[in-house]
Structure 1
């Protein structure tokens, strides 16, 4: 059983007891979350239900494990023959969640 869920503007394919990194969520560690924007559901029998645009009465329960940062990305800008060089780094913030249950 899996579902396609929209979390913080991004779509994820989730199944029970799977953990994933989402964009930073404003929740404390250990908080139980409920995601109700389920776009697609595939149950144990192989039946696929597609929402238009979302499925009603289907929710995904998750728990926040930790808040982390991703790998550093180097942003380097240069304009030739002008002596212009800029080097900057960026680390995106993520929230690690574990999917506890998919309720239909």
Structure 2
């Protein structure tokens, strides 16, 4: 099983080949391909490669499949005995990406 742990917008995601994952919104068009260079760890056929902090010779190519809204998150503020109550909420936007391939550069 080949996978990589990648930094996307300050969060770490474990990406498998041909699988998709939801990440924080990326402002690019649907169908665009992105090359992710911030790879912390890469595993292939039982061999593990760790970066310090990132791996230089491995990058991940992903494709944006769609942009969707998540479940509503409610924010409720209250101050006791003051009559102050505020209820608010929002729906975060996510991007659905699919891993196309892991690109390895040979250093000879």
Which bin holds the TM-score, normalised by the shorter protein?
Answer: over 0.9
SS of the equivalent of 1:56 reads coil
Instruction: State TM-score, norm by structure 1.
Output: 0.96
Q: Does 1:69 align with 2:69?
A: yes
Query: What is the rounded CA distance, in whole Å, between the counterparts of 2:50 and 2:81 in structure 1?
Result: 55
Q: Does 1:27 align with 2:38?
A: no
- What do the CA deviations read for 1:24-65 (whole angstroms, capped 9, x no partner)? 111100001110100001111x11110000001101010001
Matches of 1:38 and 1:50, distance apart in 2: 9
**What number of residue pairs does the alignment pair up?**
103
Task: Name the residue aligned to 1:8.
Answer: 9
* TM-aligned CA deviation for residue 9 of structure 1: 1.2
Asked whether the 8 Å contact 1:40–1:48 carries over to 2, the reply is yes
- Which stretches of structure 1, 4 residues or longer, exceed 3 Å deviation after superposition? none
**1:92-103 aligned within 5 A:** 92-103=92-103
Unaligned runs of 5+ in 2: none
TM-score, with structure 2 as normaliser: 0.92
**Contact 1:15–1:102 under 8 Å retained in 2:** no
